[in-house]
Amino acid sequence: MRFLQSIIVVLLLFGAAISTQAQLQTTSPLAPPEVQVRSAPAETGASGATTARITVEIPADHHGYLDSGDEGLLIPLAFTFDNPGIAAQEIARPQGTRDDQAHATVLRGQGEFVFRLALSDPIPESPHAKLRYQICNDITNICFPPRTVQVPLQLAAVQNLAAPKTELLQSEPAPTSFRERLAALFRQSTSNLFFAIALVFVAGLIASATPCVYPILPITSAILMARGGGAKQSGHIHAFAYFVGLIFFYTLLGVFAVTTGTALSAVMTNPWVNLGFAVLFVYLGLSMLGLYEFQFMPALTAKLDSASSQSSGLPGTFWMGTTAGLVVSPCVGPVVGAILLDITGQAAAVSAADTALSNQIVVRGIALMTSFGAGLGVPFLVVGLLSNRLPQSGAWLSKVKFLLGLPILYFAYTYYIKSLETLGVPVNVAHAMLVGVVAIVLAVFIGAFHTMGEKPPQHLQLRRACGIILLVVGIHFLYNGLGNSGILIDRPSPVQMAAATTSPVDDVETHGNLRWLRNISTARQLARTESKPLFVDFYATWCANCKAFNSLALKHEELNQALQQAVLIKIYDTDPDFKIFQQDQRFPELRGVGGQPFLPLFAIYSPRGEFLWKGQDYKAANTMIAQLERAKHATVQ
């Protein structure tokens, strides 16, 4: 009897366990945690396209899939737009994390999906998107059945902004600086090849007047005086060879741009390239000061000259001119950017099968860059021709060389600062490192390592003592500078440092008395609310002129006041918003050439979000002030 009772108790417990497990298995799938899905008000971009942002928030201790996994069996988060009159393209999604257990990329917490919408007129009623997803529990590893939810889209703001147009937008705003007018004129005349060639020739002449070209002119004079050997006719021939070599460099640049879609800008923005230019200018400057005799690649030049003795060393002079073109290439401005964009844009638009048209594009691109090189080379040719009419020696020449050496050293300093700023090294740290290097060089020059006899003269002892003191000071400054620069010890990148000084709530970056927002949606909303123009600064840590604008915005009193009366946003080239703007046809500069954007770039919008102006000249303070004032008074019809 007792045995039977025990059997009955065991069966009852077993049945209760089975029923409990069955209840868990049947109720869990029926009541999965809710995934929160929210859509932000859609925004109209500069080109008229609409951007929609949808935020997905996964419950705690759960994850959703961003891909179908290594085996392609998982159900990822996927949006569909089935409203008639709405076409959508996904342009950004959460990065997520790799889950080795699930063998897939998963989303935990919150993530944002961004879509580019093409809308019909009128906008469809009750616009919405549908999200299909499947989430799994991180603790129990239970995956719930797939679900589909409907997400309303907030397009009312788009409808309100789409109809009204600003009176000031009836025509493109006229640029106020000469360089901007020249660049705009080139963009408007690209269909007229001969006029475009003349324009870029003038642009080359203007580029030759920039400060960064200046140091090469006296160096050119010194080279050609030596190469000409005092003979007038020989000097003229070498001057033309130098001129042709410089043109050849820009012709070659045009060939690369039209055939490969790449540009030298990617190289010239490299900090180590700029540091190399700094070292080159130091070498040239010290030579002009008389510390040693300057010789341009003597071994290579001698080989070229000996290989072509009949041309009296012309190949060496030719390659010197080519190198000069490389050295002054960082001076290219908005016009050259427009040329390269025009060349690569037309090359990309031509079908590979259309051989005749492709050849025309190649010829056009080469002709434009050759014309620019010719314009840039005219001052070098003039200096070369005149240099052979000057006396070849005398005390006057030493004094002139000394005076010319000082500004060359200054430009070496500017390239040095530009290089380290691009690497994210603070200016004060860069100065400390420079002081250290100069002190060590002076210590060696004075005689810190010179050996002395048993009873050296007192002045030699004093000189060596000063050298040792300078050596200690130099090592101290250089070591501490390197330690704070991130070269010896890792330090946060410029983007991380900016993020560390950014408010997590307002997403604000502060420079002096200027507050720069970092979120385009927040900035546009604030501009509408406060009826202020929106000023956009497209920024990159490798862009030295972007950093120069930061300084100008604080030092230029009128520009600073104008910026304080606007809503400011700084968009880094690593931000998702930057990639969205790259899709905007109004900003080909952000796509650049060969994937390298042309920065800096600035844009101004009216308080209601209409695009009014863009420019790349960071020194055009008066232009920016005028356009901000114009945007402030933009009225809706």
Which ranges in 427-537 belong to alpha helices (H)?
A: 427-446, 458-485, 494-500, 520-530
Q: Listing from the earlier edge strand, what are the strands of the sheet with 147-152?
A: 78-80, 128-133, 147-152
Check: CB of residue 422 under 8 Å from CB of residue 271: yes
In order of 345, 372, 542, 593, 596, the CA distances from 256 in angstroms are 13, 15, 23, 11, 14
Nearest to 46 by CA among 542, 545, 592, 585: 585
CA-based torsion, 128, 131, 137, 142: positive or negative: positive
In CATH, what number does 495-632 get? 3.40.30.10
CB within 8 Å of 569: residues ≥ 6 apart: 516, 517, 518, 519, 520, 523, 534, 535, 536, 537
- The Cβ-side half-sphere exposure at 95, using a 13 Å CA radius, reads 3
CA pair distance 176, 624, nearest whole angstrom: 9
Mean pLDDT in order along the chain per 10 residues (637 residues) = 50 46 42 85 64 90 86 83 78 84 88 81 75 88 86 68 37 51 60 76 76 67 66 77 87 73 55 79 74 55 47 70 70 59 56 52 80 86 72 55 70 80 78 90 82 76 85 88 70 46 58 90 89 92 79 91 94 86 80 71 90 84 89 63
In which residue are the tokens 């009826």 written? 531
Which ranges in 68-118 belong to alpha helices (H)?
A: none
Cis status of the peptide bond prior to 600, with omega within 30 of 0: yes
CATH T-level topology, domain 36-162: Immunoglobulin-like (2.60.40)
Nearest to 565 by CA among 633, 617, 637: 633
Nearest to 559 by CA among 550, 571, 569: 550
Residues shown for the chain: 637
Both structure tokens of 604: 């101004």
Element (H, E) at 131: strand 128-133
- Kindly report the backbone phi and psi dihedral angles of residue 385, in degrees, each rounded to the nearest multiple of 5, phi listed first: -70, -40
Per-domain residue ranges of the chain: 36-162, 178-422, 427-485, 495-632
CB within 8 Å of 198: residues ≥ 6 apart: 371
Domains 36-162 and 495-632 share a fold: no
CA pair distance 549, 542, nearest whole angstrom: 13
CA pair distance 349, 342, nearest whole angstrom: 11
